Amino acid sequence: MNLRFTVHNFRKGGQGRASLANFFSIALLIVTVVALCGCASTRKGTADFRKFDFQKDTFTFANGLLWEYHYTNGVATHQRRMPKPDYALHCFAVARSARQFFQNARFDSNQPPVDEATYRKLVDRVVAIDPSHHTLETELVTIPGYPDLKSFSTTHEQMLKEECGSVWRSYIQRGNWRMVFPFFRSRQEKTAQVLLAKIHQNIPPIVHLVRFPQETINHAVVVYDAEETDKEIRFTIYDPNHPEEPGTLNYDRATRTFILPANNYFAGGRVDVYEIYRSWRY
């Protein structure tokens, strides 16, 4: 089956998108694929007992934007970013890989560094493990010579960009089918509670942010902390587009709505949220 995409539709929210018709075609294809092979080659272990640390468990490099966005009274205008970033449309790959390192690897600065070829093999082992599963403590992949992912990615940025997954990891992400169906407020309320529960278990969920069928955002972030009040839940996120500091994703209890603040790829406002990389269907 040939699925046609347009360059224009790959630009917003740091990730790609296709036409409405193509999304339904993609959804059908993905459902078929996961039904045939979604459960293969996964390993289930125990959840990590330490908390996700933004200063240690994130990459130093950003998922670049192909377009610059400007907002006036909520109306967006955009222009092509110049020069063109050499690493863009990879937010799903970056978010997924960050959690895979958190769950499946341990860094040991007491061991001497190894050569580039060996590091590539170790990275390949980490990102080959299904992101919905946790590796047992005794089976963690050891990355020698560095204390954490942040320092490792500073030195080996290009290698990690090459090994953590191509743009197509986003286009065929197994949970993409979900965005074409309605997001009821009751389900968004349940999603918020599930995210809280996983954070309390030190399991940082990866969520897909959409406004389908609008093309205003199609993005993936890692949720790793939360603060509750009577009116809202303020989730703290690792946004692959902004590795310099944590971001926020708010949940309004009254309207049962997730809200993403304005930034350089989104005008701000309601987003629909669902968790991905959590099971064979997503």
Kindly indicate the confidence band of residue 57, based on its pLDDT and cuts at 50, 70 and 90: very high
Helices of type H across the chain: 20-37, 91-104, 116-128, 149-155, 157-163, 168-171, 185-200
First-to-last C-alpha distance (Å) of the chain: 22
Q: Is 66 helix (H, G, I), strand (E, B) or coil?
A: coil
Q: Quick check: is 46 in a domain? A: no
Q: Which residue has the higher pLDDT, 80 or 12?
A: 80
Residue with tokens 């240690």: 56
Q: Which of 171, 200, 232 is the last residue of a domain?
A: 171
Q: Quick check: is 197 in a domain? A: yes
Span of 31-40, 100-109, 258-267 with lowest mean pLDDT? 31-40
Kindly indicate the confidence band of residue 116, based on its pLDDT and cuts at 50, 70 and 90: very high
Q: Angle at CA 255, nearest 5°, toward 250 and 256?
A: 60
Q: What is the pLDDT of residues 181-191, one digit of tens each?
A: 999 999 999 99
pLDDT at residue 129 tops 60:
yes
Q: Quick check: is 208 in a domain? A: yes
Mean pLDDT on 2-9: 35
Mean pLDDT on 188-199: 97
By residue count, the chain amounts to: 282
Q: Could you tell me if 128 and 197 lie in one domain?
A: no
The sign one gets for the Cα dihedral 25, 31, 36, 41 is positive
Q: Which domain holds residue 99?
A: 67-171
pLDDT confidence of residue 19: 43
Q: Which of 18-22, 78-82, 190-194 has the highest mean pLDDT?
A: 190-194
pLDDT at residue 91 tops 60:
yes
Q: Which of 171, 190, 217 is the last residue of a domain?
A: 171
Q: Quick check: is 82 in a domain? A: yes
Mean pLDDT on 149-169: 93
Q: Which of 155, 171, 187 is the last residue of a domain?
A: 171
pLDDT confidence of residue 196: 97
Q: Quick check: is 103 in a domain? A: yes
Span of 43-57, 101-115, 196-210, 260-274 with lowest mean pLDDT? 43-57
In degrees rounded to 5, what are phi and psi of residue 235? -85, 140
Q: Quick check: is 48 in a domain? A: no
Q: Could you tell me if 91 and 22 lie in one domain?
A: no
Q: What is the pLDDT of residues 221-251, one digit of tens each?
A: 999 999 999 999 999 999 999 999 999 999 9
Q: Could you tell me if 126 and 90 lie in one domain?
A: yes
Angle at which helix 91-104 crosses helix 116-128, to 10 degrees, equals 90
pLDDT confidence of residue 36: 35
Amino acid at 10: F
Would you state the structure tokens that stand for residue 14, as one six-digit string?
């740091």
Q: Could you tell me if 77 and 89 lie in one domain?
A: yes
Q: Quick check: is 59 in a domain? A: no
Q: Could you tell me if 132 and 192 lie in one domain?
A: no
Mean pLDDT on 190-207: 97
* pLDDT more than 70, % of the chain: 82
Kindly indicate the confidence band of residue 62, based on its pLDDT and cuts at 50, 70 and 90: very high
Number of domain units in the chain: 2
Mean pLDDT on 249-274: 95
In degrees rounded to 5, what are phi and psi of residue 51? -85, 150
Q: Which residue has the higher pLDDT, 71 or 60?
A: 60
Mean predicted lDDT score pLDDT of the chain:
84
Q: State how far the Cα of 20 lies from the Cα of 147, in Å rounded to an integer.
A: 45
Q: Could you tell me if 184 and 248 lie in one domain?
A: yes
